[in-house]
Structure 1
């Protein structure tokens, strides 16, 4: 039921837009009806995005002005973030990094190849984000690429590897923990993944790594204490608390345990139980909390694909959200009481995860 349903040929970007919204309607119906596990809803949203990204690039690459010696341009595209983890939201950006071939591996002029590839990426971004009467495809975020916003849109294999070899930015390692090659030249994608394997999954952590993890935790603490509505993603007891806990455990142990060398949060948690890193009963409560919070965030984003994560404080708006995720029995007061109790339980579990991650520098 959660599998992508493509029955008609898709020959242009407009057809992709129509497919996206038809599939979103189907996935939303499954979500609201609660007829499949929520991990399958997240997977369905991710599978849809994977298909659209691949198909859009195929459509663009097949145009006559995008051919390289009569063939498709060689490149690899990696997804990171929620898409890389195969747990996309209804209104997520898609975090992407393009990688191109080295000069010695190109049949022809490197500058011409590179210019054509940049032109293709620019066209891809424009067509993904272009808004029409039926909507748009996805917001594309390339800011996780080496050197971020100021960098070229794509770097060759060697330059990408060299950048990460000397990088001390632990956020970049966190980002690549969720990386999947989703489209492009398979040998190029496999080579990039192989070269960055040791970068992602180190056998030993340096004291400087621990200090950086602590700094990240302290920065998160500042963010979550900001005034205003509680944010289901970054607020105290939110989604990020659980993800940070799991990613720190992964980055500390994946070098020794290949079953931790993968991208999905809940699969990682299950594998951590098998390794004895997390107690089975604790893991069950973490999974329940995580999926409740992810479902809550998704239902906040269902209306108009709004990229919001703040839980509304107004009674009517909160009641609508509570009902949409299944709290429907009783009067308004009873519904909100049950919803708020479930929310507090989930937040407490997420907060406990966050509190388990390392000590403050003064205590370290």
Structure 2
């Protein structure tokens, strides 16, 4: 206990302010347990049972997040969980919070339109980008998201809202549910700037518009970012459809040596920014740091990933292993 408290102000303050969280984790055995696949979804589903309004949804999400963050941090600092488990657990926690929030808010939005949730499930797909997309989220990470919805859903033909209006409102509500600071804190900070046109672009886009943008205007840094894209919430079938539409933009069928100039320019921008901020010794941004390792891995993915499916992975450690297998980097 003292080791954990000495290493984490968050763990210390949480245990002091709300000792019931720690007692609960000890009492039910969760502190010592490796969670099976889907465990966060099951636990959050039980925690949200009986939620009757958005305010209660937000409160229970934040309490659940604090409880599970304490569990993950404790297991990390006590040496009970390896790094890959910690990163996976943080990402799975975020996935479950996003998905449960979207499901609840989507059903509420349908009720307001007098549309049966049994007959229609909103098709909004949430793409996790960056560390979330790669299942490498850390304790301080924002979650980078992109929202998209399928074209041609027949329900809108008889509805008083257009799909653009409906999904824009749903996306805004989802961001508030996760990002808003309340007396219970926030769930996750949400960053939407990786969407087409960044802050000046539409918050949500339909699949065709998204695919058209990337094929006609997508820049090399957007290909670089889209390598990590992973559906984290929304119906499975539209999610697969969206990923199929985006795949040709990211992974070209030929050896894409034309990407070198753009990658070189992107690397130079990163180096200049590091030098400007005097962060050459920074373990994340400096030479030989985390960002440079990621850059090397993703450069190989952009150039050779279309011809080498083994490189079509999101996690940097998996990509490095694949590069060693292919002989592009020493094992």
Aligned pair in 2 of structure 1 residues 13, 278: CA closer, same or farther (>3 Å)? same
Q: Which moved more, 1:58-67 or 1:130-139?
A: 58-67
TM-score by length of 2: 0.79
- Note the aligned Cα RMSD (angstroms): 2.0
Question: In structure 2, which of residues 130, 145, 150 is the aligned counterpart of residue 96 of structure 1?
Answer: 145
Contact 2:256 2:304 in 1 (8 A): no
> Is the partner of 2:276 in helix, strand or coil?
coil
Question: In structure 2, which of residues 96, 100, 115 is the aligned counterpart of residue 69 of structure 1?
Answer: 115
Question: In structure 2, which of residues 142, 148, 153 is the aligned counterpart of residue 105 of structure 1?
Answer: 153
Which residue number corresponds to residue 243 of structure 1?
294
> How do residues 258-337 of structure 1 correspond to structure 2 at under 5 angstroms?
258-280=309-331
Q: State the aligned residue count.
A: 279
Offset of residue 279 of structure 1: 1.3
Offset of residue 231 of structure 1: 3.4
Matched, 1:192 2:242: yes
Question: In structure 2, which of residues 94, 98, 105 is the aligned counterpart of residue 60 of structure 1?
Answer: 105
Separation of aligned partners in 1, 2:176 and 2:102: 12
Offset of residue 21 of structure 1: 0.8
Offset of residue 2 of structure 1: 4.3
Which residue number corresponds to residue 326 of structure 1?
none
Matched, 1:41 2:90: no
Contact 2:124 2:147 in 1 (8 A): yes
Offset of residue 237 of structure 1: 3.1
Offset of residue 113 of structure 1: 2.3
Contact 1:66 1:120 in 2 (8 A): no
> Is the partner of 1:225 in helix, strand or coil?
helix
Aligned pair in 2 of structure 1 residues 148, 2: CA closer, same or farther (>3 Å)? farther
* CA deviation map 1:265-304 (0-9, x unaligned): 1111112222222211xxxxxxxxxxxxxxxxxxxxxxxx
- Structure 1: where are the runs of 5+ without partners? 281-364
Q: Which moved more, 1:203-212 or 1:249-258?
A: 203-212
Separation of aligned partners in 2, 1:155 and 1:28: 36
TM-score by length of 1: 0.72
Q: Which moved more, 1:200-209 or 1:236-245?
A: 200-209
Which residue number corresponds to residue 197 of structure 2?
147
Aligned pair in 2 of structure 1 residues 208, 273: CA closer, same or farther (>3 Å)? closer
> Is the partner of 1:143 in helix, strand or coil?
coil
Contact 1:80 1:180 in 2 (8 A): yes
Separation of aligned partners in 1, 2:232 and 2:220: 24
Separation of aligned partners in 2, 1:222 and 1:171: 16
